Amino acid sequence: MAKFKKVILFYNSKRRSTRLTTKSVEKLLLSKKIEVEKICVNDSLKRKIKANAAIAIGGDGTVLFAARFLVGNIIPILGINAGGLGFLSGIEPKEFKSFAEDFINGRLKREKRNLLGVKVLRNKKKVFGPFPALNDCVVRTSEARAFSIEANYDGEFLTEYFGDGVIVSTPTGSTAYSLAASGPIALPGLNIFILSPICPHTLSHRPIVLSFDKKIGLTLIGKHRQSHIIALCLDGQENFNLNIDDEIIIEKYSSQICMLVPDKFSHLKVLRKKLNWGKR
């Protein structure tokens, strides 16, 4: 691979640890004659960019922002964890110096990740999307109020949920909200959806794993007419208010993103570390 000439740094300006790590990474890259452009995730500004690679410095939210920002640009992303759990990060801040040469020279391993493509139909007309989500698509209220939602898969009726909402997750997002809703953990390379109800009132409703080659449809139904707001949320960052009878179509997004990780990176090791699983 050719040496990277320009790198985009995504960072969260509200976190002191992130600001310090960003400054350190920027200094190292500039010392290697690499052009650096910085984008703060707290800014809503969208613009066209050109670069060879990107580094997302912060928690998983920073990586999610960078992924949606860059989708379709074929720019690989390295996540540096300067936040919380950091499931989406390839390395820790103290490790970057030792991996810097491999990163700059394009020698880090590349992992393709699928995204959800989400759109909303109202009276059969598109009113939202299709927009990408790397982790998940969540339909729920901001209040502790149950509502009804009908789910179908490939046009076939699946079930009707009555509860606090539903989560449709990618394998990448299986360690996020879906995990908190008792969904299964899936390795990122799998081509699957995970459909998880949130606090369902029917105890037999459990998360289900579905193939990525078909579409999931979710429809808000008015069996329990409610005055509270029901919203669609992508990756915990993009929100859209829904109406009764709106149909949400979720499918595999047309583009993928590429994550950079060290050659000996292990997803199983990350799970053991982040979830405090037993040690040998």
Contact 97, 28 (CB under 8 A): yes
Active-site residue, from 43, 60, 154, 263: 60
Question: Does the annotation mark 102 as catalytic?
Answer: no
Amino acid identity, position 150: E
Contact 117, 251 (CB under 8 A): yes
Other beta carbons within 10 angstroms of residue 203's beta carbon come to 6
* DSSP secondary structure, the chain, as one string: -PPP-EEEEEE-TT-HHHHHHHHHHHHHHHHTT-EEEEEETT---------SEEEEEESHHHHHHHHHHHTTS---EEEEE-SSS-TT-SB-GGGHHHHHHHHHTT-SEEEEE--EEEEEEETTEEEEEEEEESSEEEEEESSS--EEEEEEETTEEEEEEEESEEEEE-SGGGGTHHHHTTPPP--TT--EEEEEEES-SSTT---EEEETTS-EEEEE-TTS---S-EEEEETTTEEEEE-TT-EEEEEE-S--EEEEE-TT--HHHHHHHHTTPPP-
Encoded tokens for 180: 């908190």
Contact 250, 130 (CB under 8 A): no
Catalytic (active-site) positions: 60
